[in-house]
Amino acid sequence: MSAPLLDVRGLSISFAGRNGPIGVIEDLSFQVHEQETLCIVGESGSGKTVALLSMLGLLDPLSSRVQGSASFKGKDILSASRETLRQLRGREIALISQDPMTAMTPVHTIGWQIVEQIRAHTDMSSRAAWNRAIELLGEVGIANPRMIVGQYPHQLSGGMRQRAMIAMALSCNPSLLIADEPTTALDVTVQAQVLDLLRRLRRDFGSSIVLITHDMGVVAEMADRVLVMYAGRIVEHGPCEAIFADAWHPYTWGLLDSIPPLDGPRPDRLVSIPGSPPQPDKRPPGCVFAPRCRARTAICAEPPPRQAANGRDALCFIDYADRQARRFGLAENMDQPA
Amino acid sequence: MTAMQAPSTFQETRPLLRVEALSKTFVVGKTFIPGSGQSVRAVDTVSFDVFPGETLGLVGESGCGKSTLGRCLMRLHDVSAGRIVLDGVDIAPLSPRQLRPYRRHMQMIFQDPAASLNPRRRVGDLLAEPLRVHNMASRTGIAQRLRELMDIVSLPAAFLDRYPHEFSGGQRQRIGIARALALEPKLIVADEPVSALDVSVQAQIVNLFSDLRKRLQLTTLFIAHDLSVVRQVSERTAVMYLGSIAEIGPTDLLFRSPAHPYTQALLSAIPVPSVAPARRRDRILLKGEIPSPANPPSGCRFHPRCPAAQERCKTERPTLTGLPDGRQVACHFPFSLQTA
Ligand SMILES: Nc1ncnc2c1ncn2[C@@H]1O[C@H](COP(=O)(O)OP(=O)(O)O)[C@@H](O)[C@H]1O
Ligand SMILES: Nc1ncnc2c1ncn2[C@@H]1O[C@H](COP(=O)(O)OP(=O)(O)O)[C@@H](O)[C@H]1O
Ligand code: SF4
Ligand code: SF4
Ligand SMILES: [Mg+2]
Ligand SMILES: [Mg+2]
């Protein structure tokens, strides 16, 4: 296999807290290969956004501490200069963030911003760039692109802004598109359009995509490989098919089982994960998931090993021979809030 | 499931809530210049019943009028036209003063419990407040009622002495639910009560709604944009588009074989958390987005986006019509996009 496009190793991030540094990301390692879609899934607060911001040099260096390494096309990006990263972000890596307002300038029209973006990276004439902007806005599902190009970000609805930002990100045909919950604020019919768009981007331009989401449905639809994050750690990683067919980690079981089904019989009750995710400064020692884990045993008070086989791994004590029995033997419902 | 043949047990009883031709028009951008301002018909001639002990799910994309409808039912808005008959009394025309005795019979649960809970008051005070306002219990009675309410939403009674910010999102929503239940309302309108929660926590609250329905025979209008959540909690489901009901009927029926092209598209758009091809529906990709209710399309409101639209749809607006299987649908050509 060729060298990965993005290679992250041992990434740890902490923020300055009132009583010393608070670790938010713990020893994160993963690769993104050419033309692949990697989904990062996990509940809010698990550290998905912080991890990607650190790789793009977008964390405040005064209040955060980043350790480990990250390289893009073989070049170190964690220690790269601001200018190098800025160039990289426009040309090779595009970021679609959760909040479109951060990526836009309030004083310029949508069209102006897309045209600027296109002209910075190509030698297109401004007329051609303007037409391309209209075309891109149409492609992201905006019904009246000719009108929208002349509007300012604050004049658009949240969904329209999100789509305008996607259009902007697509304008430079990035080799890596990092999309942080790009459809979370959108309605399902619009989400379907946007996911379709991302798939086409990958097919037509060969871009790699890192898609951050909390929706297992989106993961099933989009991912080649999946990282499951919980409390700042990768608790499970593997090919999409394998994880949906046979998840290894009890947290992944919980994520999958807590979704109400759209067809078949309706269960009397959903299998939920008890309690809620811990704040970064309240994470337990040993296995971070232990307080909410139905399969926990006494040994889980110790840090669990990363067990790996067949191109996948999980951060858990459960022996692979035991997994099925442990998952489906957990009949009792621990629905009480912790 | 035999929803097709067996008439729902609910339909034999008198509805607790009957909504008749309810409309709500907002005037936006009005100035002193006569004739200025644009009217937005957020809820357009909506009629439906909710039966005692039933949960009716209300789905549709953002801006289709779900919250406005919910707020009209609670009479947090004045209504522009139509009737809201709650337990035999039409509350639509009542003044705020006339409404007062009816307020405690209808309670709302919101998406963001934090915003609806005063951060400076302890949970116990928050729950006791409605009881005091409505003279519902003696001092000793209140203490007991508070413990009962905490038990109903599975929170320890010790939490009564704490403040809302000390709780997680899921726990705060439990407190919001306890508060709504304090006065034993006849009708609950829950507006996106699980939308702000993480999936794992969402499942806990969805289960709580199922429990409440069984345990307290609650009558609920459950508003959500997430169809799988609505399927899990409601006996019947109504689908709204641009202020009107597109389709309403038994939940199992609607999800198994949707009749309205919009219901079909909506269902097909949901990403299924499975990689098994058999679980996937053929996707119907809709073009564009919901038009503004300030300037709705002619004829069928859905026709510019409808893959099944024909000439007639551009001029003639379909009305909500009953089908033999027990549902109602507002479409000239139901089932024309059958994908299953
Ligand atoms: N600038 C910051 N200073 C301190 N803590 C932060 C900062 N940014 C994020 N965090 C904390 O880091 C954790 C992970 O946050 P985030 O990456 O946003 O999670 P996710 O994107 O998975 O929802 C959260 O607990 C959050 O409160
Ligand atoms: N107070 C208001 N004033 C003017 N327009 C409103 C008001 N509340 C809602 N609307 C409009 O009514 C329509 C329906 O909104 P809403 O009921 O909030 O939809 P939903 O809850 O389905 O997302 C939208 O077009 C919205 O902009
Ligand atoms: S290590 Fe133990 S507590 Fe942690 S996920 Fe595995 S079984 Fe559960
Ligand atoms: S009436 Fe016509 S346009 Fe409207 S939903 Fe039915 S087929 Fe589509
Ligand atoms: Mg995030
Ligand atoms: Mg709403």
CA distances from B247 to B227, B262, B293, B317 (A): 14, 9, 19, 14
Overall average pLDDT of the A87-112 stretch: 84
Write down which residue in A173, A199, A217 finishes a domain. A173
What CA–CA distance (Å, rounded) separates A181 from A215?
A: 9
> For residue A122, is it within any domain?
yes
Residue from A43, A148, A189 to probe the interface with B (highest B Cβ count within 10 Å) = A189
> For residue A263, is it within any domain?
yes
Residue from B152, B274, B282, B283 to probe the interface with A (highest A Cβ count within 10 Å) = B274
Ligand 2 cavity residues, CB under 6 Å: B 26, 28, 40, 42, 60, 62-68, 293
* Bridge partner list, B247: B239, B329
Q: What is the pLDDT of residue A1?
A: 60
Ligand 3 atom with the shortest distance to the CA of A294 = 8
> For residue A180, is it within any domain?
no
What CA–CA distance (Å, rounded) separates A236 from A243?
A: 9
Query: Which residue lies with its CA nearest to atom 14 of ligand 2?
Result: B65
Q: What is the pLDDT of residue B257?
A: 94
Is residue B228 within 8 Å of residue A259, measured between CB atoms? Answer: yes
Give the confidence band of A169 by pLDDT, cuts at 50, 70, 90. confident
Greatest alpha-carbon pair distance for chain B in Å reads 68
With an 8 Å Cβ cutoff, are A269 and B287 in contact?
no
Q: Give me the residue label for tokens 């791994």.
A: A313
With an 8 Å Cβ cutoff, are A216 and B273 in contact?
yes
Q: What is the pLDDT of residue A128?
A: 94
User: Which member of A244, A260, A336 has the closest CB to residue B232?
Assistant: A260
Q: In chain A, how many domains are there?
A: 2
Structure tokens at B293: 């209710």
Is residue A28 within 8 Å of residue A8, measured between CB atoms? Answer: yes
Please determine, for residue A330, whether its predicted confidence score (pLDDT) is greater than 80. Answer: no
pLDDT in tens, B105-162: 999 999 877 777 888 999 999 999 988 888 877 767 889 999 999 999 999 999 999 9
pLDDT in tens, A193-225: 888 888 888 888 888 999 999 999 999 999 999
Is residue A156 within 8 Å of residue A110, measured between CB atoms? Answer: yes
Whose atoms come closest to the Cα of B38: which ligand?
Answer: 2
SS3 assignment, position A6: strand
Could you tell me the strand order of the sheet in which B187-191 lies? B106-109, B187-191, B219-223, B55-59, B236-241, B244-250, B328-329, B321-322
Q: Give me the residue label for tokens 């899934």.
A: A41
Overall average pLDDT of the A122-135 stretch: 92
Looking at beta carbons, which residues of chain B come within 8 Å of A143?
287-289
User: Which member of B171, B202, B228 has the closest CB to residue A262?
Assistant: B228
With an 8 Å Cβ cutoff, are B154 and A337 in contact?
yes
> For residue A70, is it within any domain?
no
Q: What is the pLDDT of residue B79?
A: 96
Residue A282's identity, in one-letter code, is K
Whose atoms come closest to the Cα of B299: which ligand?
Answer: 4
> A115 lies in which domain range?
104-173
Nearest CA in chain A to B292: A157
Give the confidence band of A338 by pLDDT, cuts at 50, 70, 90. very low
Q: What is the pLDDT of residue A72?
A: 95
Overall average pLDDT of the A80-100 stretch: 84
Please determine, for residue A331, whether its predicted confidence score (pLDDT) is greater than 70. Answer: no
Residue from B215, B241, B242, B275 to probe the interface with A (highest A Cβ count within 10 Å) = B275
Pick from A101, A114, A197: nearest CA to A149: A114
What CA–CA distance (Å, rounded) separates B270 from B281?
A: 9
> For residue A117, is it within any domain?
yes
Q: What DSSP assignment string belongs to A108-146?
A: S-HHHHHHHHHHHHS---HHHHHHHHHHHHHHTT-S-HH
Q: Cα A135 vs. chain centroid, distance in angstroms? A: 27
Residue % of chain A over a pLDDT of 90: 57
Instruction: Classify strands A225-230 and A37-41 as parallel, antiparallel or unpaired.
Output: parallel
DSSP A4: P
> For residue A197, is it within any domain?
no
Please determine, for residue A15, whether its predicted confidence score (pLDDT) is greater than 50. Answer: yes
> For residue A96, is it within any domain?
no
Structure tokens at A267: 């269960």
Write down which residue in A141, A173, A205 finishes a domain. A173
Q: What DSSP assignment string belongs to A265-317?
A: PPPSS-----S-PPPGGGPPSS-TTGGG-TT--GGGGSPPPEEEETTEEEES-
Which ranges of chain B have pLDDT less than 50? 1-7, 340
Pick from B220, B263, B217: nearest CA to B238: B263
Please determine, for residue A93, whether its predicted confidence score (pLDDT) is greater than 80. Answer: yes
Whose atoms come closest to the Cα of A233: which ligand?
Answer: 1
Please determine, for residue A83, whether its predicted confidence score (pLDDT) is greater than 80. Answer: yes
Query: Which residue lies with its CA nearest to atom 4 of ligand 1?
Result: A15
Instruction: Classify strands B187-191 and B219-223 as parallel, antiparallel or unpaired.
Output: parallel
Residues in chain A: 338
CA distances from A224 to A162, A198, A208, A292, B267 (A): 24, 13, 11, 28, 24
Structure tokens at A197: 């768009």
Give the H/E segment covering residue A16: strand A6-17
Task: Pick left, alpha or beta for residue B118 (phi over 0 → left; psi -120 to 50 → alpha; otherwise beta).
Answer: beta
pLDDT in tens, A263-308: 999 999 998 899 888 989 999 999 999 999 999 999 999 999 999 9
Overall average pLDDT of the A11-19 stretch: 93
Structure tokens at B306: 């409808």
SS3 assignment, position B57: strand
Q: How many of the other CB atoms lie within 10 Å of CB of B134?
A: 14
Give the confidence band of A320 by pLDDT, cuts at 50, 70, 90. confident
With an 8 Å Cβ cutoff, are A258 and B289 in contact?
no
Give the confidence band of A110 by pLDDT, cuts at 50, 70, 90. very high
User: Which member of B1, B199, B203 has the closest CB to residue A214?
Assistant: B199
Write down which residue in A129, A147, A173 finishes a domain. A173
Greatest alpha-carbon pair distance for chain A in Å reads 68
Ligand 3 atom with the shortest distance to the CA of A250 = 5
Q: What is the pLDDT of residue B260?
A: 97
What CA–CA distance (Å, rounded) separates A91 from A72?
A: 13
Q: Which residues contact B288 (CB under 8 A, 6 or more apart)?
A: A141, A143, B304, B305
pLDDT in tens, A175-198: 999 999 988 878 888 888 888 888
Distance A252 CA to ligand 3 centre (A): 11
Q: Is the CB of A68 under 6 A from ligand 1?
A: no
Q: What is the pLDDT of residue A12?
A: 96
What CA–CA distance (Å, rounded) separates B302 from B286?
A: 10
Looking at beta carbons, which residues of chain B come within 8 Å of A337?
154-155, 168, 170-171, 174, 204
Nearest CA in chain A to B214: A268
Pocket test for ligand 4, best of B241, B287, B333 (most atoms within 8 A of CB): B333
Please give the model's pTM, rounded to 2 decimal places: 0.91
User: Closest approach of chain A CAs to the CA of B141, in angstroms?
Assistant: 26
> For residue A74, is it within any domain?
no
Give the confidence band of A337 by pLDDT, cuts at 50, 70, 90. very low
Distance A200 CA to ligand 4 centre (A): 29
